[in-house]
Amino acid sequence: MGKEQLGINTQLVHAGERGAPPNGKPVSTPIYATATFTYDSMAEVDQVFAGEKQGYIYTRYGNPTIAALEEAMRVLEEGAAACAYSSGMAALHAAIFACEISSGATILASQDLYGATTDLLYKILGSYGIKTTTADFSDVEALRAKAFEVRPQVLIAETVSNPLLKVCDIATCAEIAREVGARFIVDNTFTSPYLCKPLKHGADFSVHSATKYLGGHADVMGGVVVARDEVDLPTLIGVMKLVGGILGVWEAHEIHRGLKTLSLRMDRQCDNALRLAKYLETHEDVSRVHYPGLAPAQNQETIKRIVRPPHFGALVSIELRDNTREAAFRFMDALSLCVRSTSLGDVFTGVLHPATASHREVAPKRRLELGITEGLVRISVGIEDIEDIIADIDQALKR
C-alpha cells in the first residue's frame, strides 16, 4: 500500500519520517531529537543490543548528538573515554561509582569542596555505609599521612577550590592516591580543559559541571566525566543507563557549541579577572582578595605547573572590610552591571554569596573553620569591558 493511499490519521503520523540520510554531510552535528532508533530487520536490532554491531537503540543508552560532545571532551581532556550526564552532580556521582566503592569504603575528600559535593558524600553515600573523611589537600604531607591512616578507596579534590580558589597540586595528590591504592577524582569545572587537564597530571577521572565554562552562556545544564582508562567506560555508561541522569540532546548540542568559543571566552575572562584582582587588592573596602595569581610566591610554581600560563582562572573571591552578611548583601544589591547569580563561568560577570548559596548547608562554625566568612563574595568575571566591571564593583563597594 502506497503512503498516498493511507488514511489521514496514519499519514499525519508517518508522512516525511524515516527518509534516507542526506547526500551532503552536515558541517555541524545535527540534533537527533529521537528517543528510539529503528533498523531494517530484527536481526540488526538484536546485533546492536548485543553489542555485535555499532549503532543506537534508545537515547538513554546513547545518541549521536550526545556522543559528539563526549568525543570532543575526550579529545580535549586527552582521556580514553567520556560520558555525559544531566548535571555536574550526576557526573560526579557516576565517577564515584566507577571507582567500585561499596559499603565500608572510605573516601578522602578535600576540605575545600563545593557544598553540594560534601552533601553528596555525607548525606547520600554516607547512608549506604560509605565513610568520608576530609583533609587539607594543600598540605601534601598531612594529606599523605591521612591517606595512609584511613586507606581510602577514592580521593576527591577540585583543581581550583570553591570558593577560596586554592590550586590543587594534582600530580602530587595523584602520587599519594597511587601509594595507597586509591582512585583520584578531580572536579575540573573551575578551569575547564583549556586551562588544566587533570588526567595528564595523574588523575583517574576529570569531572565537569558543563553548566559553567563549557556551555558558558547560562542557558544549559549538564555534566561530563572523562576517564583516563577505557576500562572505566562500561561502569560510567551503566550508571547513566540505570540511574537515568542522561543529558538531553538539545543540551548536548548547546554545550558542544559552547566548546567552540571556550578559549576565546576564557582568555578574555582570565585577563579581566587578573586586572580586577590587582585593582581590588589595594581597595580600602576589601580586606582580602583570593585569587591564584596573588598567591604567595612559594605556591606560584605549583600553580603555573597545573594551570595554563599565563592564566590564573576567571574567578576572584573577596572579603569585605566590614566582614558581615549585611555588608555583603548591601554590596551585591548595589551592583547594577554584575549579575547576582548562583552559577559561574558565564559571559557576564556574576556574584555569589557562598555562605548563603554554595555552602549554605555547611554548619556556620565549619564554614568559619574553612575560611568562608559572612563577608566573602565570589566573583565570576565575564567578558565585558574590564573598565565597566571595575566601575560597577567600585561604586557598589563605596555604597
Give per-residue pLDDT as tens, 303-338. 999 999 899 999 999 999 999 999 999 999 999 999
Cis peptide before 193 (omega within 30 of 0): no
Is the pLDDT assigned to residue 277 strictly greater than 90? Answer: yes
Locate 93 and state its grid cell.
556521582
**Would you state the pLDDT for residue 127?**
96
Bridge partners (DSSP) listed for residue 155: 108, 184
| Residue in 74, 197, 212, 367 annotated catalytic | 212
- Note if 340 is an active site residue: no
| Neighbour order of strands in the sheet with 81-85 | 81-85, 223-227, 205-209, 183-187, 154-158, 106-110, 131-135
pLDDT band at 16 (very low <50, low <70, confident <90, very high): confident
Distances (CA, A) of 178 to 78, 101, 343, 345: 20, 16, 33, 32
| Contact indicator for 202, 168 with CB cutoff of 8 Å | no
Taking the alpha carbons at both ends of the chain, their separation in whole angstroms is 77
Nearest to 185 by CA among 199, 204, 160: 204
Q: What is the pTM of this model?
A: 0.94
| Residue in 3, 60, 260, 398 annotated catalytic | 60
How far apart CA 298 and CA 339 sit, in angstroms, is 34
| Contact indicator for 255, 222 with CB cutoff of 8 Å | yes
Distances (CA, A) of 47 to 32, 36, 55: 22, 16, 9
Section 250-264 average pLDDT? 97
- Note if 291 is an active site residue: no
**Would you state the pLDDT for residue 393?**
98
How far apart CA 374 and CA 319 sit, in angstroms, is 8
| Residue in 114, 194, 213, 291 annotated catalytic | 114
- Note if 60 is an active site residue: yes
Locate 267 and state its grid cell.
582568555
Distances (CA, A) of 202 to 173, 175, 197, 228: 8, 7, 9, 9
| Residue in 187, 204, 232, 346 annotated catalytic | 187
**Would you state the pLDDT for residue 3?**
62
Section 37-47 average pLDDT? 95
- Note if 32 is an active site residue: no
The amino acid at residue 4 is: E
Is the pLDDT assigned to residue 1 strictly greater than 60? Answer: no
- CA dihedral 343→112→300→147, nearest 10 degrees, is -140
Is the pLDDT assigned to residue 70 strictly greater than 80? Answer: yes
